[in-house]
């Protein structure tokens, strides 16, 4: 079973430059809604292992990524393909919605 990758400023470029869809969850430890969506993100990492890359960026320890992507509210979820943002969602999303948006780019 796959697990959501820990994405940071050092490994970000090497992870997003792929033809697979990459779901990134911008979150923080102190954020209640982030804690709610965390298990859903982990579930998707397992279910879509090999098809998509699922990762999490802690906004407190990676402020440059937050600025680069204009993150002002968390949880913020983005789907990237070939290094470009193709989907952007703010707030807690149902698992089915996240799955649909990822699979649209498989």
Active site residues: 31, 34
Assign residue 35 a region (left: φ > 0; alpha: ψ between -120 and 50; beta: otherwise): alpha
Query: How would you classify the pairing of strands 22-27 and 76-81?
Result: antiparallel
Beta-carbon contacts of 96 under 8 Å, excluding residues fewer than 6 positions away, are: none
Q: Are the C-beta atoms of residues 95 and 43 closer than 8 Å to each other?
A: yes
């Amino acid at each position: 079973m796959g697990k959501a990758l820990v994405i940071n400023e050092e490994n970000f470029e090497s992870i997003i430059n792929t033809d697979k869809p990459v779901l990134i969850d911008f979150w923080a430890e102190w954020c209640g809604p982030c804690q709610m969506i965390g298990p859903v993100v982990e579930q998707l990492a397992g279910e879509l292992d090999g098809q998509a890359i699922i990762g999490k960026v802690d906004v407190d320890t990676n402020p440059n990524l937050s600025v680069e992507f204009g993150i002002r509210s968390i949880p913020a979820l983005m789907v990237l393909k070939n290094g470009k943002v193709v989907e952007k969602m703010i707030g807690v999303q149902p698992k089915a919605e996240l799955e649909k948006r990822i699979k649209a780019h498989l």
